[in-house]
Structure 1
Amino acid sequence: IIVQIEVWATFDFYRNFWNINPFNPKNNRNYDTTVTKLKTSVPTHPTLRGNPFFWSVPQHDNNARLLSFQQRFVDKLLSYSLRHDNILYCMDNETTVTSDWGKFWAEYIRMKALMEDKEVLCTEMWDAWDLSHPQHYETMDHPETYAFIDISQNNHNTGAIHWNNGITQMKRLEKLGYLRPLNNVKVYGNDGGRHKTTRQATEAFIRNVLMGCASTRFHRPTSGQGLNERARAVIRSMRELSDKVNVYRGKPENELILGTENAEAYCMASPGKEYVVYFPKGGTAYLNIYDILNGGSVEWLDVLNSKWSGKKKFRSGNSLDITCPTEGHWIAVIKAE
C-alpha cells in the first residue's frame, strides 16, 4: 500500500473552510493580519489565488513570520510520515499558485528527509485538465525537483481526449529524457455526483492502466467510486490482467487498431508477443497482428464480473477480427504462440 500525502489541502484555505482553519489569524494568537498579511475572510474560489498564505516563500513575499509556522506544520507532519517508507508527497491539491511555492516545499521536505537519512519522492498537482498547459510543465520538465508526476486532473477528460492527453505527454517526456512515473490519485466519476459518471470513471481507470501509468485510484464519493462494489470489481480485474500479461513491458499502441465497428477501443501491446484491447461498450475491432508469426490465442475478460472466457486459437495473418461476447466493458488478451 502506497500513501500519497497532499501537504497543503488547497480548498482548506478558501471560503467556509478558511473560516475554521487554524492558520486564519482570527483562530490563533500567534499572529494577526498586520504581521502576516493574511485575511480573515477569503470568499473566492482557489483558482483566483486570493489567499496570501501561498505567497509566503522567499521568492515572493518572504513572509518570515507566517513561513515559520508553515514550516512547523510540515515538520510535525514529517515527524509521523518519515517513520514510514511507503509515503509519497504531493505539495498541493489542484493548485494554480506560483510554481515557486511547490518547489520551496518539495526542497524543504527532501532536505528534512535527508537529515533523517531518508529519501522521499515529491510532486505537485496542478488544476489544469489539459496536460499541455504550462502549469504541468513546471512539474514535468523539472525532474531535479519532482521525482514523479501527478496527472489526476486528466481524469476530468473522457474517451480519446483522456487517452491522447496522457500519451502525448508520455511521449514528450520520453523524448526529453524526463520520463518518470505518472500517478492518478483521483479518478473522477459517480452517477449523481458532481464530476462525471460511473461509466466514465470505470473507463478512465482502465485506460490509465493501458496507457502505462504508475498508479490509478478512484476518488472518494461522491466525486468518485471510492471502494464500492464497482470499484472493487474493476481493481480485481486489473489485477487479473496484470497477472496474465506483462503490463510493465507493454506500451499504448492504438495505431495497431486498423478499424472498428460500433466500437471504441484502446490497445496496449508488446508487438509480436502480447496485445490488450479494451472495449468500453462492446463491439468489434480489427487488430494488426502482422508481427505474430505462428498463430496465437484470444481470451476475454469481463471487467465488471472479473471472469475470463475460454481461449480461442487463431492463425497468423495481417489482421484479426475481435468481437466482444456482449455489450459492456470487455478486455481482449491476444497472445502469440
Structure 2
Amino acid sequence: MKLTLLSSGLLLSSVLLLNACSSPNQVSQHITADAVIEQVAEGKHQGMYRNTYRLPLGTRQYPATCESDCYPAHPAVVCKTPGQDCQYAGPKQAPALNTGFSLQWLGHASFLVHTPDGQQLLFDPVFGQFDWPINWAQHLVGIIKRPYTPSLTPEQLAATDAVLYSHLHYDHFSHASIRQIGTTPTYYLPLGMANYMPKGGYNIIEQAWYSQSQQGELNVHLVPAHHFNSRKLFNDDNRALWGGWLLEHNGKTLLFAGDTGYSEHFSDIQQRYGDIDICLIPIASYHSDEEQNWYRYVHTTPEDALVAADELGCKVMIPWGYGNASWQMGDLSSHSPLLRMLHMQQQLNSQVPLLILNEGDSVKL
C-alpha cells in the first residue's frame, strides 16, 4: 500500500510539474508612438531585424584605435600572471551622483540593480555555464570555461521584481538561469525574444527601440545597440531584436548598453535622453588582427567604449566583459581589455569618470 501511495504521489507530482512547465507565458508588446523598428521588409531577409547604421564590413571608421603596446602592465591591476587572474586594486571612488541606484556586478554582463523606488532588477543574468547544447559541447571539447561566477541566494532571486535581457546569445540569455529566477518577476525583452523563452507562465513584455514601459516608478526604455541576434544553428538569425536598456527615475538615468559595436547610435541616445548618469558599457570580446573587422563591428574595443561614454555624456562609466569569470571570447587574457582601457584612457585623455569593479563588487551611486 505504501508503495502504491508513493507511486501515485510521484505520478501526481510529475503531472503537476509537466502542467506547470507547459503553462502559457503571458506576453504583451509595449511599442510607444516614437518607437523605431528596423526590419527588412522584403526579399530573402524579410522579417529580420537590422542595425540602424549599416556599413559594409571593414569600411566603418573608428574615432580611435590602439596601434601598438596596447596592454602594458598597470600598478592597479594585480595579476598572478601577465594579464591573467587579476584583481583591480586601485581606487573605486564613485562620483557623488545621488541617483538612488545601487548595483552589484555579478561577472561578464550580469548585474544586480537596486532602484530608487526599492525594486530589484537583473540585467542579462547568466549563472554558471552555458545552456544546452553549448554546455555539452564545452565539456566534450573543453572550451571556454568560466572558473568562477558570483552567485545569488534563493532568497535574493526571490526578491527580483524584473529581469531585462539584451539579446539571445548564450552568454547573455540562459534558460537555466531563468528557471532559477522563476515566474514572479516581469521579464523585459526586445521584440521577438519571447519566442525563445522557456514555457511555464512567465510574464513578458517585449519592446521596440525607443519604446517605454512602466515598472513601479521606473521608466524602462529599450535603446538601440549595434549587434545581431541568434540562438539556433540555422534559420533564426536576427528574427528577434537586440538592444540596451535605459532606466529612468525622477530624471536620473542608468544605461546598460548590451553587447554592441561602436556606431552613431550612442550619439542618438544622448540626443534623445540627455547626458546619462550611469553607463554600463562592454569593453571586451573584440578580437584583433585578421578577425578585428568582424568582431569590432559588433563589439566595442576599450577605446570605442571610452569614446561612446563621452558621446553619451556619461557621468560615470562602469566597464564590463573582462574578468576572472569572463569567457574571454576574443580577448588575450582575463584582464587584457581592462589593461587596454586604462592605457587608452591616458592616450585619449578621456575625462569620463571610470568606476572599475571586480566581479562581486557592489556600489551605491
TM-score, length-scaled by structure 2: 0.30
Structure number with higher relative contact order (C-alpha < 8 Å, ≥ 6 residues apart): 2
Asked which structure has the greater CA Rg, the reply is 1
TM-score (norm 1): 0.32
